[in-house]
Amino acid sequence: MREWVVTVPAPLIKPVRKRKTGKMFTRKPWLNSNDRDHWRVLSPIRAEWRRLAAEAAAGVLPQGLGRVEITGLIVKERAGTYDAMNFYPTAKAIVDGFIDHGICADDSNEFVEGPFLFPGPKGSAAVVVTVRELP
């Protein structure tokens, strides 16, 4: 079984001005299952994670694999406890970026197992993804 490790850095999110209060607000780059933001707020962040994942995969991952298992380590800028599985929407965007790169034909259960998420060390915001080829 071959294995590859890809680090997908978190996108930079530009600050926005709140319409009612006029205050500047910078959203964190993570897509979280607990978020209740409007789709128009989340869509560009999702697209940026997907683009960054495809770029990161281009130099490392091969194309046209049969079946793969994907695991991810969530690296956050602050220490503390959190539920790594809440970041599944971020992982889904990353897997979609890998599929855009052509790692597999599709991200269905026929080709992809996972992504399985685990908390990682403290560091610069990123997801360290391990892709294993399955028989």
Q: What is the mean pLDDT of each run of 10 residues along the chain (135 residues)?
A: 96 85 88 89 94 96 96 94 95 97 95 96 96 96
CB 69 within 8 A of CB 2: no
**Confidence at residue 19, expressed as pLDDT on a 0 to 100 scale:** 80
Reduced 3-state DSSP string for 39-77? HHHHHHHHHHHHHHHHHHHHCCCCCCCCEEEEEEEEEEC
Distance of CA 78 to the CA centre of its chain: 18
CB 97 within 8 A of CB 53: yes
**Confidence at residue 38, expressed as pLDDT on a 0 to 100 scale:** 85
**Confidence at residue 12, expressed as pLDDT on a 0 to 100 scale:** 93
Query: Is the CATH code 3.40.50.300 the one for domain 3-134?
Result: no
Identify the H or E element spanning 91: helix 88-101
Q: What are the boundaries of each domain within the chain?
A: 3-134
**Confidence at residue 37, expressed as pLDDT on a 0 to 100 scale:** 84
